[in-house]
Amino acid sequence: MMATALLAVGLSSTPAIAAGSIGSSDLNDLFTGSADSGTLDREVAPQADLPGWKHIFADDFTKDAVVGTWANTCSPDDIVYTGAEGQKWRTYPSCYTDTFGGNPYRSDEVLSVENGVLNFDLHTVDGRPAGANPSPLIDGSRQSQTYGRYSMRMRVDSSMMTGYYIAGLLWPESENWPADGEINFPEGELSGTVRGYHHFAIPDATPNSQAVASESSAVFTDWHTYTVEWTPTVVRMIVDNDVVLESTYGVPSTPMRWQLQVETTKNLTVNDGNLEIDWVSAWAYDGA
C-alpha cells in the first residue's frame, strides 16, 4: 500500500491522519482484476454491497447515445441521458461557463456513449475549447446524498491533452462554498499527474483550507479506478488499491452531488483528445 501523505494548506494545525486503516486484502475484493487493476483495461462496474456501504447506482454505459443527444441549452434539471437500466443523467447546460478557463460547457458537442464508454470528445467548438459536466441521479430522483462511496474507471487517449482539466467532485447541494466543503478526486490537467483535494467544511474556510492527496504514480493515459469514500469521520481517496489520502479534519456533513467535471484551463496551448469513462458506481453510507 502506498504511504498516505497530507498537506494542510491555510491552517496552522491539522489533526494527524490515520494511515493504513484499510488493508490491501480488503481493497482487492472491490475489483474484478488483479491487485494492480490499472494494468487491465475494461471492467464490469461493481454493484455489490460492501461492509459499511449499500450499493445504489451503477452505469456501464451499454446504451449508445450519439453526439448531440446530451444537449442542454439552459435547463440544468433536464434529464439528458437514460441508461439501459433506467439510469438518469443531468449535465451542466451550455449557458454555464466553467470556472477555470471561462469557456461554455458544451455537452451537445462533447459527450456521447459508444462501445461501452462515456466519451468526452474534448475539442474546440465555435472557436473556444469545450468541456462538459455530467452528473448522475444516484437514487433515480436525486443527485445528492450525505456521505457515500463513489467510483469511476477512466483514462484519456493522449498524454498531450493540454488545456483540459478534470475534477471528479462532490459539490455541496447548499452551494455554500467553501464553508460546506468540497471533495475533488481525481483532479488535474489531463496532460499532468493525478491529484486529489479535500476542501475542509469549517466555518472560516478559505479556498486554500484543504488537504492534498499524496502524488500517485497513476497517469491519466492508463485505465485506473478512482474511488472516494466519505463517512461522518473521514474522507478517503483511492487509486486502484492505493490509498492516497485519509483526512479526518473538516469532513463535510451536508448533502453533496457527484459531478464528473471536465473543464478548460488558461493554458494557451490546447491539444484535443478523448477522455473515456468505462463505468461509474455509487454507494450510500449505512452507518457501519
Domain boundaries, the chain: 55-285
Residue pLDDT, tens place only, 23-54: 333 433 333 333 344 445 889 999 999 999 99
- Average pLDDT over the chain reads 88
Q: Which segment of 75-79, 112-116, 215-219 scores lowest on mean pLDDT?
A: 215-219
**pLDDT attached to residue 128:** 96
Higher pLDDT, 281 or 29: 281
* Position 2 pLDDT exceeds 70: no
Domain 55-285, CATH number (from 2.30.40.10, 3.30.70.100, 2.60.120.200, 2.40.128.110)? 2.60.120.200
* Position 14 pLDDT exceeds 70: no
| 3-state SS track over the chain | CCCCCEEEECCCCCCCCCCCCCCHHHHHCCCCCCCCHHHCCCCCCCCCCECCEEEEEEECCCCCECCCCCCCCCCCCCCCEECCCCCEEEECCCCCECCCCCCEECHHHHEEEECCEEEEEEEEECCEEEEECEEECCCCCCCEECCEEEEEEEEECCCCCCCEEEEEEEEECCCCCCCCCEEEEEEEECCCECEEEEECCCCCCCCCCEEEECCCCCECCCCEEEEEEECCCCEEEEECCEEEEEECCCCCCCCEEEEEEEEECCCCCCCCEEEEEEEEEEEEECCC
Whole-number percent of the chain with pLDDT over 90:
83
The band of 210, judged by pLDDT with boundaries at 50, 70 and 90, is very high
- Against a cut of 0.85, is the pTM above it? yes
Higher pLDDT, 42 or 177: 177
